[in-house]
Amino acid sequence: MLLNKTNVDTFNIWLKKTYQYGGALLIDKPKDWTSFDVVNKLKHALKIQKVGHTGTLDPFATGLLILLFNKYTKKQQEFTNLDKTYIAQIKLGATTKTYDITSPEENVVDFGDLSKETIISAIKSFEGHYDQVPPIFSAKKISGQRAYILARKNLVFEPKPVSVTIYSISNIEIKLPFVSFEVKCSKGTYIRSLANDIGKKLGTGAYLFQLRRTQIGDYSVNNALNIGEFLKKLIGFNEWKSIAD
């Protein structure tokens, strides 16, 4: 059973079934939380050992996480394989080592009179299949070690390109130096790398400034609970249970 905003009134039933058989939960991850922070918080709150999620979000990003409990953790790959949709904001005119806002700007340039048509054309050129190089600050494994560990040691290496699909890039808004857009893509796509690649295409450099995941397959963040809402329901359930006992 999957719990979200549309059926939150069935919380008590969901919780009992989750303890017995397993369950799933849509959560809107807050900014500055890691995906593991969310898993850990709910693991302790529910006192359930088997908890997983179906696609990491970087700490600075917000949006949809699907949490799986007990026997539902066996469905992890099924959810992980689903397409993703994001709203991204990139900043032109600089790069960063992490391809995002979490490290200082480098290679700052004055990109002059860059037309909207040029920007849109460059962004739209990434629609379709392309071989994307993951960021060096990522969880990809290089010779058995996580790439970000090697990157922090200032070792020189380049992750292997991964074939990804950008199904669509739409709702492009330009307020230089910032550009926002919605992107629907296949699993394994790094929006940080997409931002960096757009910057290379334009010759200006670019990095990911904001990111929000709005969709995983047919599951929408609009139906997701925030952590506070979920914990309120859980506290209410525990109080009711203690009175009933």
Q: Which of 28, 58, 100, 197 is catalytic?
A: 58
Q: Which residues contact 15 (CB under 8 A, 6 or more apart)?
A: 23, 46, 234, 237
58 given a catalytic annotation: yes
d(CA 98, CA 202): 19
Residues involved in catalysis: 58
